[in-house]
Copies of this chain bind each other. A is one copy, B any other.
Amino acid sequence: MNIKQIAKKAGVSVATVSRVLNHPENVAPATRERIQKIIDQEEYTPNWFARGLNFNKTRTIGLVTPHTVGSCYMEIAGGVEEVARQKGYITFMCNMERDPDIEKEYINHLITRKVDGIILMYSSLSDEYMSWIREEKIPAVLIGENELRPDWDSVKADCRDGAVKMTAHLVECGHETIGMLCGNAPENEANSILQGYKNVMKASGKKLSSKNVYDVENSIEGGYIGAKRMISEFTSPGSDVPGDQLDAIFASSDEIAYGAMDAVKDCGLCIPDDIAIVGFGNYKMSNLMEPKLTTVEEPYRLMGIYGARILFDLIEEKEKNGEESTPKHIILKTKMRIRKSCGHKERIGEMF
């Protein structure tokens, strides 16, 4: 069923039908109602392509994610998608499987398809490619730590601050030797966490050598492998207690922390008494681990929601041919979730 057939059925011209669809106020009430009735009856919906061809607007956004699993990405995605749906937009899911080539392929594809906007989550694209995107004049927002791109609109959690607080907390717990397992992705977030950690370590006069920080894959397996290595590095020669020189492990994501917990247990050690472990993110499961994982909560869903809102602001700005505004940067506060795994002595009961 197309507009012509509706017009014929109603005994009017296509223009009039088009008007009741787009500017109903310009149609005589009687005609309008008559036409509307036929539209409803026939369940007519205007052809998407023909419309797009005229408006050159898709009401579609692209969301590029590093991965489908790993709870945090999809929580952000949920926030983005919710806002998009409420705005009458629909979201292309572009999962890059942590492969930058797929990421590029997807972005090219999105631009070809004339999406109205793009959200890049924890993107790891080159400067060159980023400026190419910029030239395409397509509204875009970055979600996730991105200190290196001040010229892009972005949303992130204040990970540096979170890491500072967490490291300080570990120090307060009385831990002397604190190691860090630093996930290689999302790169920039881990870097901020690392900085926060290093600053506090130095400020509080803790030892800090290359042994303290390991780069690991941002996954459960990565955490497991990294923790094993770290434990063996921190074992006194001849000691039969593995990791006897290590007090605590700070993992740059909860996923890594899960793996680290497993490794510590496998060594026959007790968390937090032998080695304390803390994470970053507060994934849904962290409260169910044994012991419950102390971590820094990032407001993932909110990050998605804010990111989407900025994007739609940009889109609307562009539609109105407004000036390009200066990039907005939203930084959301993190929250300490003190549970059992950090070994906090005094207030442990009240802060689960």
B68/A77 in contact, CB under 8 A: yes
Q: What 1/0 flags go to A200-236 for Cβ under 8 Å of B? A: 0000000000000000000010000000000000000
Interface residue from B85, B261, B288 paired with A102 (Cβ < 8 Å):
B85
- Please, which residues of chain B bring their CB within 8 A of the CB of A92? 90-93
Please give, as numbers and ranges, the residues of chain B lying within 8 Å of A262 by CB-CB distance: 288
A74 lies within 8 A of B68 (CB): yes
Contact A81 B93 (CB under 8 A): yes
Q: Which residue of B lies closest to A114 (CB)?
A: B48
Q: How far does the Cβ of A339 sit from chain B's closest Cβ, in whole Å? A: 13
Q: Which of B74, B93, B290 contacts A91 (CB 8 A)?
A: B93
In the complex the two chains form, what is the Cα distance from A68 to B284 in whole Å? 13
Taking CB as reference atom, which chain B residue is nearest A57? B49
B69 & A81 in contact (Cβ 8 Å cutoff) = no
The residue that A95 contacts in the complex, of B68, B81, B288, with Cβ under 8 A, is: B81
Give A85-107 interface residues, CB cut-off 8 Å to B.
Answer: 85, 90-95, 97, 102, 106
User: How far does the Cβ of A281 sit from chain B's closest Cβ, in whole Å?
Assistant: 13
Q: Within the complex, what minimum Cβ distance (angstroms) separates A329 from chain B? A: 25
A69-B284, A290-B290 as given contacts; A77 in contact with B93, CB under 8 Å: yes
Q: How far is the CA of A71 from the CA of B290 in the complex (A)?
A: 20
CB contact list, A15-65 vs B, under 8 A: 45, 47-50, 52-53, 56, 58, 63
Whether B81 contacts A74 by the Cβ 8 Å rule is no
A48-B112 in contact (CB<8A): yes
| This protein's copies in its complex | 2
Given known A63-B93, A90-B94, A285-B258, contact A74–B85 (CB-CB < 8 A): no
Is A82 in the interface zone, CB < 8 Å from B? yes
Q: Looking across the interface, which residue of chain B has its beta carbon closest to that of A285?
A: B285
Is B69 within 8 A of A78, CB to CB?
Answer: yes
> Smallest Cβ distance from A136 to chain B, in angstroms?
9
What is the distance, in angstroms, from A113's C-beta to the closest C-beta of chain B?
5
- Mark out the residues of chain A between 252 and 266 whose CB falls within 8 Å of any chain B CB in the assembled complex: 258, 261-262, 265
Separation of A53 and B50 alpha carbons in the complex (Å)? 6
Q: Does A75 sit at the interface, judged by CB under 8 A?
A: yes
List residues of A whose CB falls within 8 A of some B CB.
45, 47-50, 52-53, 56, 58, 63, 67-69, 71, 74-75, 77-78, 81-82, 85, 90-95, 97, 102, 106, 109-114, 220, 258, 261-262, 265, 284-285, 288-290
Closest 10 CB pairs of A and B: A68-B78, A93-B93, A49-B52, A290-B290, A49-B53, A68-B74, A45-B112, A49-B49, A91-B93, A285-B285
Given contacts A50-B53, A52-B52, A220-B288, 7 further A-B pairs with CB under 8 A are A63-B93, A68-B74, A69-B78, A77-B93, A81-B95, A90-B110, A258-B288
Q: What would be 26 A-B contacts, judged by CB atoms less than 8 Å apart?
A: A45-B112, A47-B114, A49-B53, A49-B114, A53-B53, A67-B78, A68-B75, A68-B77, A69-B71, A69-B74, A71-B71, A82-B95, A82-B97, A85-B102, A90-B92, A90-B94, A90-B109, A90-B110, A90-B113, A92-B92, A258-B288, A265-B290, A288-B289, A289-B289, A289-B290, A290-B290
